[in-house]
Amino acid sequence: MDEDVHDETMSDIANAITGGGPAPDEAPAPARQLAETGARPPLQAILFDLDGTLVATKRLYLEAYRRALATHLGHVPTAEEVIALRPSSELRFLQAVVGPELYDACLADFRRHYAELHETHFGGLYDGVEAMLADLRAAGVPIGIVTGKSRGSWEVTTANVELGPFDVTVFDDDVTRPKPDPEGLLLALERLRVPPARAAYVGDGTQDASAAAAAGLLPIAALWPKKPEEIETFTQHVLRHGAVLAHTPADVVALVR
């Protein structure tokens, strides 16, 4: 999920990842970077963060949070106040802010606002995401989502936008510890019956790269949602976790072709 709101790695190596292809100096940038970080077995599954990686929901989440929290905090928090609280997962964020006694009522308010605001505040799919998912499905690569979003909010999103089928989905409801804890990623791979060394996790946050590294997956850092001024600092953080940089969704496909 977007780091600011839920919060918003090849001659031989190229062949190992793609099953054949161009030499390192001809390969796409992510493949060249992977060649510099060390060989991995061929990828058998790609997992994705959702918010801030596949879909643009920062504006939607901020406004839904503001309205839901207003009733229970006694004032309408600003967007800056919500961001400062660094919401990293939907359900745990609400409970942490209002406490267990007010949580159920606040969650109901949030879900109502999230659904009502979706038409006006949802930013849509990022450019290239639809083609990326279609290409991975056509290649027979199992794909899944591991997200800090709740299942209820996911149902609102999928009722309004076509993302297509996923082989596994893990939501905030399904884990006891959110990212950067690797619990959700390991649960998804257990369901897919794919070992961590044969999978990658694509996300737009440093917590995504951290969780992937902790679980033994290849971290792929999505740069396409980032503003130009955010890229340098973000890149420095994710490279510490061994991440491959994907400038566009097509770069993700290039790693498994």
What is the DSSP secondary-structure string of 79-118? HHHHHHT---SHHHHHHHHH-HHHHHHHHHHHHHHHHHHH
Same domain, 93 and 131: no
Same domain, 107 and 190: no
**Average pLDDT, rounded, for the chain:** 88
Range of the domain at 164: 12-56+124-256
What span, in angstroms and rounded, lies between the C-alpha atoms of 98 and 105?
10
The better pLDDT of the pair 110, 25 is held by 110
Neighbouring CB atoms inside 10 A of 90's CB total 31
Domain count, the chain: 2
Residue type, 14: A
Nearest to 17 by CA among 50, 46, 54: 46
* pTM of the shown model: 0.86
Q: At what angle do helices 90-98 and 100-121 cross, to 10 degrees?
A: 130
Same domain, 235 and 160: yes
Write the pLDDT tens digit of every residue in 67-102. Answer: 999 988 889 999 999 998 888 799 999 999 999 999
Residue 3 lies in a domain: no
Task: Note whether 211 and 184 are within 8 A (CB).
Answer: yes
Task: Note whether 200 and 47 are within 8 A (CB).
Answer: yes
- Judged against a pLDDT cut of 50, whether residue 56 lies above it is answered with yes
Supply 143's token pair: 């794909």
Residue type, 154: W
Residue 7 lies in a domain: no
Same domain, 244 and 133: yes
- CA dihedral of residues 26, 218, 246, 242 (deg, nearest 10): -90
- Judged against a pLDDT cut of 70, whether residue 200 lies above it is answered with yes
Of 105, 121, 137, which one is at a domain's C-terminal end?
A: 121
Same domain, 46 and 143: yes
Same domain, 106 and 226: no
Residue 1 lies in a domain: no
Nearest to 203 by CA among 30, 20, 48: 48
